Amino acid sequence: MRALLQRVKESKVYIEGKEVASIGQGLNILLGVGVGDEEEDIQKLVEKIVNLRIFEDSSGKFNLSLLDVKGSALVVSQFTLYANTKKGRRPSFELAERPERAKELYELFVKRLSEYVPTQCGVFGAMMDVYIVNWGPVTIMLDSKDL
């Protein structure tokens, strides 16, 4: 499971011009589910995300977590995090989990994350406009297989 974290001042998701999710300070999380991902991958990622010290303290150092700053999370499904670009010019996505299983794990990830911090999400599989005000900018890639 892969998560691209973007520290944000605010983030919003729109579908067909209608706002469906919005947060203030926190993390915009693009989440990709890979073939073979399981519930253990979710727990590893959630614990890393909520405790990762990527928010600045009063000295300007990365010493505070999402929990410390009482931030929120906005989770957006993103199968393209599993793009394979080794051959040719068109990416393939054979490493991304099939949609039915990916949706199940995505929804479980959102549920588990919401046990720690206020969490909103986009709509799985929908065409979305995602607006972010990336703060820093700070963008970090996590892969559950590396945790």
Please give the positions annotated as active site.
78-80
Q: What is the DSSP letter of 144?
A: G
Torsion of CA 5, 6, 7, 13, to 10 degrees: -110
- Which region holds residue 88: left if phi is over 0, alpha if psi is between -120 and 50, else beta? left
